[in-house]
Structure 1
């Protein structure tokens, strides 16, 4: 689209999470007028740590916000997969580090620091809180949003970045409900001093065994470690009630240091949730509305690609708007670019990880040998 057209474009972003904040930044750099509407009265990101891949960090460099994110994260060179008893299975440098003019490493960051960094680079007044979307009317060349507080907003383009339970998706694209994975995720942040010496560097480690996966993601810039247990459980309650004994049962047979970390957790600080994703959505856009991030392709966290995919969506949407002649053409190009990638990531993320199954996916990679743990044809595995 011509620069003059982009500057006249009025965009409404629904949701101020990773995808919404990133989309707002990328689209505002085109010169468009962007407003972000968030249902929460304050932004509070719970959970623990995530890894921002080289492609994501390069997007931040393109947008001029690399330093803002780097200041609150730790650069990482590689990740490892180990058995429950800490026997090495695979080790790999993060793919993509040398794909850019400047070497770009994966950065490990706390979820709260990440969303604060993203929102902190948006112009003052761009984000409006306390606006819960209740209705959307697609009029072809524009759309009208209706909020629970009685206000409305019109935009040439509405970006639905409202997460796995997306109202935009449900009203315009798909009424399919989120799908329970049969797993729980238990996440906490602990002091580096309490990590049993298991976080001596800035690299992610995943321990797998008996249907349980334990992720240790150092946040050494904070003096902390992100500790994540993902375990099989039939209870699909969104926020299940879980005891310390329940957690200890999931790590039975693991390295004693990991058991000790679990035993030492303060349950009041553990974020507990059932793990859900969505089935692939056939269509992400109309002529004036488009889905991004979890609203379009929520995926399980086993490949560590949820937040990274949302950032890539934001960049690809901005690229498509810049390159296409019209808004509908841009949205079609965006979906054509991103959907095949995220469909595959959703599929592979559902496959998960198991010690027994690694050799089926990566023939010849025996325990203790170096090897590539990247999912075929998509960015590599790791913690999201």
Structure 2
């Protein structure tokens, strides 16, 4: 199919939406990205980009843009809370060019990707209120009263997707029974724990601490994920509350937690979504977190969105029509992400949960948010 004859809108300017914009632009499509924020700015922590994702950027001619603001990582190590090694997994994927997993700050990733797109392509300050599926086209209606119709709309509007809720399912995000406290720090103690570039996870009583080295920045992405019964989307907790979650951990982790600037910490309850039965109509398709938001334990959210983008562009180029392309894209990506969602939901055992919250069964607190 000649993509030059299609008008395509992408709703959402996060990593999924921008990756889709890049993939479709390289394939020759006429793309417009709508983002509700007034600026492209990604806060939060670090992410790991697998070779399969980096291969997409190589194909799009932008590998150096990503690797120049990231660092290679050899492996993922799991340790006890006190720092005794439990297991180590060498990153299994290395592409034909010898590129291995790279670790990158979300903000650097978004900025690097955004910089590769024509600035006129991304329309900021556009909050979607309604989508109408017209069959061979779809109409977007925004909060400022404007409406636009496209041959194809790609919903990359995240875990709280307006498009998913209006066209595909009204089921809401599901609380995973955990909080995540994330911050990027220049802490000498934490840097000493990951100076070799390895991603490390420390496991304690109801708590996992992830240390993701951002060596290109001289920083560490510090993530404390702890069991909690409060499903408030952005919970209000103080530093003493967070400190209790790391009791008994390596003293360097405890001390680094004590030194945190609470105002800089991103505090969120952990949510995912149930697998979505249907991802597409003849003119609308889900991508990234809108299609398959998953818990962060496997580190597959960003990678899945990037692979979605590549698969969608490839399917559109290969197919004779948009509906045929969307069917092929869903057939390729949905079984993979359904399994990743399932694996990412595997958390603490019943005994471990009961140790922290007596009488509460694993994930019995799962609730919609």
Q: TM-score, normalised by structure 2?
A: 0.93
Q: Distance in 2 between matches of 1:75 and 1:33?
A: 34
Pair 1:201-2:196 in alignment? yes
8 Å contact 1:302–1:353 — kept in the other structure? no
The alpha-carbon deviation at position 178 of structure 1 amounts to 0.4
Pair 1:294-2:289 in alignment? yes
**Root-mean-square deviation (Å):** 1.3
Deviations 1:291-325 (A, max 9, x none): 00000000000000001100010001011111112
Equivalent of 1:58, from 44, 55, 58?
55
Q: 1:146: which partner in 2?
A: 141
Q: Runs of at least 4 residues of structure 1 off by over 3 A?
A: none
Q: 2:252: which partner in 1?
A: 257
8 Å contact 2:34–2:126 — kept in the other structure? yes
Pair 1:94-2:91 in alignment? yes
The runs of 5 or more residues in structure 1 that have no matched partner are 358-384
8 Å contact 2:191–2:213 — kept in the other structure? no
Pair 1:74-2:41 in alignment? no
For residues 97-136 of structure 1, the aligned pairs below 5 Å read 97=94, 100-136=95-131
The alpha-carbon deviation at position 214 of structure 1 amounts to 0.2
Q: 1:243: which partner in 2?
A: 238
Deviations 1:138-167 (A, max 9, x none): 111111110001111111100000000000
The alpha-carbon deviation at position 29 of structure 1 amounts to 1.0
Query: May I ask how many residue pairs the two structures share in their alignment?
Result: 351
Q: Distance in 2 between matches of 1:281 and 1:340?
A: 11
The alpha-carbon deviation at position 260 of structure 1 amounts to 1.2
Q: Distance in 2 between matches of 1:297 and 1:45?
A: 20
8 Å contact 1:192–1:199 — kept in the other structure? no
Q: 2:219: which partner in 1?
A: 224
The alpha-carbon deviation at position 353 of structure 1 amounts to 6.0
Pair 1:48-2:45 in alignment? yes
Q: Distance in 1 between matches of 2:262 and 2:187?
A: 18
Q: 1:162: which partner in 2?
A: 157
Match of 1:228, SS state, is strand
Q: Distance in 2 between matches of 1:101 and 1:85?
A: 38
Deviations 1:151-207 (A, max 9, x none): 111111000000000001011001101001110000111115342621221110001
Deviations 1:16-70 (A, max 9, x none): 0011000000011111100000111112211111111111111111111100111
Deviations 1:218-241 (A, max 9, x none): 111101111100001111111111
